[in-house]
Amino acid sequence: MFKVYGANNLHTIPQIHLLTEEQQLAIKVVAQVLPFKVNQYVIDELIDWDNVPNDPVFQLTFPQPGMLDEKDYDELREHIVAHKETKHIVNRIRQSLNPHPAGQQTLNIPTLDNEPLEGMQHKYRETVLFFPARGQTCHSYCTFCFRWPQFIGDNDLKFSSSESTHLLNYLKEHKEVTDLLVTGGDPMIMRSHHLAEYLLPLLAPEFDHIQNIRIGTKVLSFWPQRFLTDKDSYALLELLTRLVRRGKHVAIMTHINHWQEIQTPIAKEAIRRLRDTGAVLRSQSPLVKHINDDPNVWAKMWAEQVRLGIIPYYMFIERDTGAKKYFELPLYKAYEIYNDAIKQVSGLSRTVRGPSMSCTPGKVEIQGITEIKGEKVFILRMLQCRNPEYSYQTFFAEYNEDACWLDDLKPAFGESKFFFEN
């Protein structure tokens, strides 16, 4: 097994001397507030140490000083240097980082016999999200992670043996659900037989309505060994093959932020093995400053994904949580990057939707920027909505150069509300 690092054993990273003392201290300061974990594979194979700190995978995995507000950073740094208690500062900063965006905690929890079901979300009619408790961690953590609170011990899901029973009972009663989306953390961190506990029962006739099983994962980037040399790699590939042969569409929803993550021979071999199971690979990624805010990076990434057999699916706008200030881009810029990237690739890469924001009312895609009757506007489309009637409805917002999220936008043409606010 490869070694895993955090703030406590940072000094044992073989390449750490390539960072200055101040850079090392900065990692420790920020890691007090936000999760930090990185493994030897990422360090040795994905990061170009000649290009640190600008290297995109370094930015993706190592905490950066700019991720905290300058005042907060200085205060915390000073306390750490002086070996003073930091707990109260850390808690205060965390609370200021919008730990639970888009009503995730309160609005989407399904119930069974009037009991709330932990570890599940049912926001859009046809899709249920399932967060198996054993899958709520990752092989490394992304600096921009929007699920960061669960990795710092806040709001963690406890495993219970009745977890799969709850999931299956809920799905059995909800024939409108066609898609199960297993997510995390990273569900691929689970042992294969645990994953099988949730998924194999879906082959029974009462689950015929569950046509599609999606598994969200970043394991292709952070631990492609999962499909090659883990002791249950073969069992995992067998499980996927079996689900496909028995008529399920299995979609591996890969999370890839930069083409650098899928260049290693081992990542390419992992992709080949996954494709051999008959599963379909799709990719989704947020657009993140310092990591992939460049149309050429996206164009190259999509083209490479298509070549390897991964279908580009979503480009997301970074959510309004965590170190968003460091990673966010204005909406007009996100649209420009998408547009400049999509023009460079062939139609096979143009399956990617976005840039899209996952907001409280739904997923909102920026479709364009134009002028209508003398007013400059964003053309928006509701891709997914709590109310299924509203899906794919187009609407308009006043153009605003500073807007980074739906909350920053106002309806165009002097209207007082967006259509979904009625």
Judged by beta carbon, residue 74 or residue 407, the one nearer ligand PLP is 407
Residue 209 exposed, middle or buried by CB count within 10 Å (0-12, 13-18, 19+): middle
3-class secondary-structure state, position 223: coil
Could you say which of 117, 129, 271, 380 contacts ligand PLP (CB under 6 A)?
129
Longest dimension (CA), the chain: 63
Judged by beta carbon, residue 97 or residue 145, the one nearer ligand SF4 is 145
Shortest spacing between CB 254 and ligand SF4, in angstroms: 10
Shortest spacing between CB 74 and ligand PLP, in angstroms: 36
**Sign of the CA dihedral 13, 19, 23, 25?**
positive
Residues in the chain: 422
**Distances, alpha carbon 373 to alpha carbons 69, 182, 412, 414, 418, in Å:** 41, 45, 11, 12, 19
Which residue, chain included where needed, has tokens 């499909």?
227
Which range touches ligand PLP (CB under 6 A), out of 124-132, 137-145, 159-167, 304-312?
A: 124-132
User: Are the CB atoms for 251 and 213 separated by under 8 Å?
Assistant: yes
Judged by beta carbon, residue 73 or residue 316, the one nearer ligand SF4 is 316
Phi, psi dihedral angles at 5 (to 5 degrees): -120, 150
Say which entry of ligand PLP, ligand SF4, none residue 127 contacts (CB below 5 to 8 A, set by partner kind). Answer: ligand PLP
Residue type present at position 358: S
Could you say which of 32, 61, 64, 121 contacts ligand PLP (CB under 6 A)?
121
Judged by beta carbon, residue 42 or residue 377, the one nearer ligand SF4 is 42
358 part of the interface to ligand PLP, by CB under 6 A = yes
123 part of the interface to ligand PLP, by CB under 6 A = yes
Say which entry of ligand PLP, ligand SF4, none residue 124 contacts (CB below 5 to 8 A, set by partner kind). Answer: ligand PLP
Judged by beta carbon, residue 150 or residue 349, the one nearer ligand SF4 is 150
Shortest spacing between CB 364 and ligand PLP, in angstroms: 11
What is the per-residue DSSP string for 346-391? -GGGTT-EEEEEE-SSEEEEEEEEEEETTEEEEEEEEEEESSGGGT
Phi, psi dihedral angles at 219 (to 5 degrees): -70, -25
Residues that bind ligand SF4 (CB under 6 A): 138, 141-142, 145, 147, 184-186, 218, 255
Torsion region of 63: left, alpha or beta (phi above 0 gives left; psi -120 to 50 gives alpha)? beta
Which range touches ligand PLP (CB under 6 A), out of 123-131, 197-205, 339-347, 409-417?
A: 123-131
Could you say which of 23, 24, 40, 127 contacts ligand PLP (CB under 6 A)?
127
Nearest-angstrom CA–CA distance, 231 and 195: 15
| Contact pattern for ligand PLP over residues 275 through 304, marking x by CB under 6 A | ------------------------------
**Distances, alpha carbon 274 to alpha carbons 144, 217, 239, in Å:** 27, 13, 11
Say which entry of ligand PLP, ligand SF4, none residue 358 contacts (CB below 5 to 8 A, set by partner kind). Answer: ligand PLP
Interface with ligand PLP (CB under 6 A): 121, 123-124, 127, 129, 181, 358, 363, 383-384
